[in-house]
Every structure is written in structure tokens, then in C-alpha cells.
Amino acid sequence: MSEIESAAPPAPVVSADPVEIAGGVYVLPDGRVPLVPNAGIVLGTRAALVVDTGMGPANGAHVLERARALAGDRPLILTLTHFHPEHGFGAQVFENEALIVYNAAQRDELGEKGEAYIGMFRGFGESVAEQLVDVRLVHPHVTYDGPSAEIDLGGRTVRLLTWGLAHTRGDQVVLLPDESVMFGGDLFETRMFPIVPYFPPDDADVDGDLWIDVLARVIDLAPAIVVPGHGEVTDVGVVEAVRDYLVALRDETAALKRDGLSADQVVEGLAPIVRKRYDDWDNPEWIDFGIRSFYDKAG
């Protein structure tokens, strides 16, 4: 393999087989491949739930096929942790195969930003654009308003919980109370800097303060098994680590702004320090976005 080839990131292809993390609860692990999420499959006696699809129709088809293999002829339900392409833009293959359930904020955010995100992601390189060929955004069959919904899969009730704006406007965790399993989407990642999608003026719908509040609520729920949006399945320690990271980044950024530094100066001075502090975390490019987001909101 040439140096150039080995430097290129692997294609964002969902290729894993399901791994059972609790009785009847499966994850298709992301293998730490960029733009591949941890997708979930939860079996009840009467129905099965799929959490996140991967990006584009081929990845969605892989997740659907694995879900069908596990669920047999039980009806499928699809929900998403949030609208971002690598989590939900494979939903089209589920349109006639599953009942699609989002919260109202997810539905609205997808409708408002979906097409622009397809364009943005196509710009990330050929292997990403390839997965987005023939992508089509689909609307949910059912949405819920308010902070929560329950789905009875038969012998197992799943709670969908949303607290509004954080990583996106419609972040949703999927909690299995009996097994104490939580799917958290991009509210937290294992050993990766949290993704702060702060792209003003196109999309500035991320709020670090509210995100910190949401993580406190997640920690209060005390899930035993935590499935992050990306990275290894782990425990609630990952949520505490991300909260501590965001709190420190917010406070240090605000202090430097009060000292009169520009946003560029804060990034230049603070980002390398933060990078060193978390030297085993991946995706350090998100430090800069985090600093700029906190800087612009700091008083």
C-alpha cells in the first residue's frame, strides 16, 4: 500500500455483523471508521427496533438486511439518534419495510437542512460522495411532540427521550430501562473529541451549555451499557468524560475572551493544550469548532 493510500480514511461503509451487547440487543460496531455510526437492533417478542441506518442506501440496506435476519417476520420500527447523514440518510430503504418514528425536532431539522447536508458531505471526498449516490430523504411515518415516547416491542419497552438543542436540535437517546442500555448518538463518542457542528452562518444549531445540561440528565439516568454515536460500546464514564471536556472548554474559552483575546487567538493558544490533555482521543479538528462555538456564545 502506498503512503497516499494508507493516509486516506477508509470508506464510510457499514460492514459489521451485529454483536449482542445484552439479551436481544445488538450493535453493528462502527470499527472507528469515520462517518460510520454504531447502529442498533433491539428485539421484542412482537416487533424489533432499528436505531440509525448508516449513510446512504447501500449502508441502509446492510443494516436492514441484518435487522431482518435477526427479527424474522416481526415488524420493524426505525428511529434515529439525530438527523445527521451518517446516522439517518439510509432511511429510504426502510420506507416500505419499517414504521419510521422521529421526534418533531428531528423531522423539522431534516426537512430544513437535509439537502444542504447532502451537498456538504459530498464535498468530503469521493468515497463519501459514492455512498450518497441516489440518496433520497424520507419523512417519518410517525412523530412525537414533547420530551419522550415509549415503544412496546413486546416483553420490552423502549423509551425515546429528547431534551432539545444540544449537538443538534433533535438529539434523541434510546433507553432500554430493563437492560439499562442507552444509545446516545453524537451526544458522546468513545475516545473522540465531541463533534461540535458549528458552521455559521449555514448551521449554528449547536449549544454547548444546553449540551452540558443534557449530559447531566443522561448521567442521572445511570445507564449501565452506553452505545455512543461513534467508538466502542462502554459505560457512563464516557458521558462524564465528555461533560467534563465541554465544561472545561467552555470555561477556559470564556476566560480568554474576557482577557480580550480574539477567537483565532483562543483557538491558537488553547487548542494545542486541550489536544495534549486528551492525547488518546481522535478527531482533534473538533476542538476548534468547540472553542469557536463557546467563544461566540460567551458574554
Contact set with Zn ion (CB under 5 A): 84, 186
Strands (DSSP E) found in the chain: 19-22, 25-28, 39-43, 48-51, 76-79, 98-103, 142-144, 148-152, 157-161, 173-176, 181-183, 225-227
> In the complex, what is the shortest distance from the CB of residue 293 to Zn ion, in angstroms, rounded to a whole number?
14
Q: Smallest distance, Å, CB 35 to Zn ion?
A: 10
The answer to whether the Cα torsion of 213, 214, 219, 222 is positive or negative is positive
> With respect to Zn ion, which residue has the nearer C-beta, 24 or 170?
170
Q: Give residue 180's region: left, alpha or beta (phi > 0; psi -120 to 50).
A: left
Supply angle C-alpha 162, 186, 55, rounded to 5: 105
**24 or 40, CB closer to Zn ion?**
40
Please identify, using beta-carbon distances, which residue of 203 and 240 lies nearer to Zn ion: 203
Nearer to Zn ion, 153 or 289 (CB): 289
**Exposure of 31 by Cβ count < 10 A (0-12 exposed, 13-18 middle, 19+ buried)?**
middle
Rama region for 114: left / alpha / beta (φ>0; ψ in -120 to 50; rest): alpha
The x, y and z cell numbers of residue 200, run together, are: 455559521
The nearer residue to Zn ion, 227 or 270, going by C-beta atoms, is 227
CB of 171 to Zn ion, least distance (A): 8
Using CA atoms, how far apart are residues 297 and 207, in angstroms rounded to an integer? 9
CB 50 within 8 A of CB 14: no
Nearer to Zn ion, 44 or 208 (CB): 208
- The least distance separating Zn ion from the CB of residue 299, rounded to whole angstroms, comes to 27
Instruction: Give min distance, CB of 87 to Zn ion, in A.
Output: 6
Q: How far apart are CA 217 and CA 154, in angstroms?
A: 27
Residue 57 Cβ vs Zn ion, minimum distance, rounded to whole Å: 19
